[in-house]
Amino acid sequence: MSRIVLGVSGGIAAYKACEVLRQLREDGHDVTVVPTENALRFVGETTFAALSGKPVATDVFSGAAAIPHVRLGREADLVLVVPATADLIARQAAGRADDLLTNVLLTATCPVLVCPAMHTEMWLHPATTHNVETLRSRGVVVLDPASGRLAGADSGVGRLPEPAEIVGIAQLLLDGDLSSRASTRDLVGLSVVVSAGGTHEAIDPVRFLGNASSGRMGVEIARAAALRGARVTLVAAHLAVPAPSSVEVHTVVSTADLAIAMESAAADADVVVMAAAPADFTPTSPSLAKVKKSGGLGLTLELSQTTDVLAGLTRTRREGQTIVGFAAETIPDEAALADAGRAKLRSKGADLLVVNDVSDHKVFGMADTIVMIVDAAGVRDRVAASKAVVAHRILDAVVDHRALAT
């Protein structure tokens, strides 16, 4: 159980803070809600009190004997602001302490996660851009808002990311040494392309050959890269999990589609990560009409081998591009798995290969995984952790590889 202060400022997305609060409580955390005065115009104090199971702290002067303005920030394991309005961000950047929430932000020594939501013009205003840069330079993790419907009839960039995404990043920051990684912003200025999910190869208009990939690993890599400041394109084949809100998504169906989408997206990318599970075989002549049962006889499908997308990308790579592949093997023995990883790294021409043993349904769709990260020199890292944590370790390897290559 961690102690979390959930700050809420006065924007229409304040109602989504209730869902964030509910999920954090379900995960067993102790949450104190600190709304600004204007947040209470959107959501009542009673709602926050009922969902948190605690009195709601609103101002510096009530219960002054317990010194809440210092105690709350000092004792917290994480301070989370959902939503953060342009005004709250400006006050935080200026170091003001004119209500309880800004006092908490000034006294917090733990990780701070700020989730902005506002109209597009306010987010893009140079004043807000400057304030966000100031906060990031101080180690505050500021999420980029998503694009989509805003208040009223407007739509554009400025939307609060989905509550589940916010809770996932909050958990990552609570998990320890990654808080510094997430606030490093070491991928600013880089374009990262990630593929994720499993392809579908059509047998006829209603049937396909698929595989067990959920896309979760690739989605976590895309999310981690965006958090660290990269421009991210996610090429998504049938994801079983939602895509991160702050990345550009191209959806594809088959390995042939994936090859075209990756070739085009990789053309000006600095980093390419092939986390997708493309089918290796596709029906040679998919039927245009639904295949009918035929008097108890079986069905024989002729399959042809698909193109190897990763090998194609490494052959045509642009200068300075880092290419990461994955290897899904069914080799439980560690040494043999490492050997297979090194052999595949060479045959694919990738710079880094993330190798895992997928025997016994250990990996597909799971929140956790065990991987080894291999480069030309051998196994450079072994990680057993959540896919969110593994995603950051893969990006650490990318950053180190790029530093050595220059």
Identify whether 211 is a catalytic site residue.
Answer: yes
Considering the complex, what minimum distance in angstroms separates the CB of residue 301 from ligand CTP?
18
Q: How many residues bind ligand CTP (CB under 6 A)?
A: 13
217 binds ligand CTP (CB under 6 A): no
Binding mask 140-179 for ligand CTP (x = CB under 6 A): ----------------------------------------
Q: Of the candidates 101, 84, 191, 170, which has an alpha carbon nearest to the alpha carbon of residue 135?
A: 84
DSSP secondary structure code for residue 294 in this structure:
B
Neighbour count for residue 257 (Cβ, 10 Å): 17
Contact at 8 Å (CB) between 14 and 85?
Answer: no
- Which one, 48 or 326, has the nearer CB to ligand CTP? 326
Neighbour count for residue 98 (Cβ, 10 Å): 11
Contact at 8 Å (CB) between 200 and 210?
Answer: yes
328 binds ligand CTP (CB under 6 A): yes
- Which one, 19 or 280, has the nearer CB to ligand CTP? 280
- Which one, 156 or 210, has the nearer CB to ligand CTP? 210
Q: Among 38, 103, 131, 211, which one carries the catalytic annotation?
A: 211
* Six token digits for residue 314: 């490494």
Q: Which of 45, 87, 248, 308 binds ligand CTP (CB under 6 A)?
A: 308
Length of the chain: 406
- Which one, 224 or 275, has the nearer CB to ligand CTP? 275
CA distance 58 to 60: 7
Q: Which of 4, 88, 160, 276 binds ligand CTP (CB under 6 A)?
A: 276
CA distance 101 to 104: 5
- Which one, 92 or 306, has the nearer CB to ligand CTP? 306
Neighbour count for residue 261 (Cβ, 10 Å): 20
Considering the complex, what minimum distance in angstroms separates the CB of residue 309 from ligand CTP?
3
Contact window for ligand CTP (CB under 6 A) among 61-69, 85-93, 215-223, 325-333: 325-333
327 binds ligand CTP (CB under 6 A): yes
Q: Of the candidates 364, 382, 376, which has an alpha carbon nearest to the alpha carbon of residue 404?
A: 376
The residue ranges of DSSP E strands in 163-286, in sequence order, are 191-197, 201-202, 208-209, 231-237, 248-252, 271-274, 281-283
Catalytic residue ranges: 211
Please give the residue ranges that form the binding site for ligand CTP (CB under 6 A): 255, 274, 276, 278, 280, 306, 308-310, 325-328
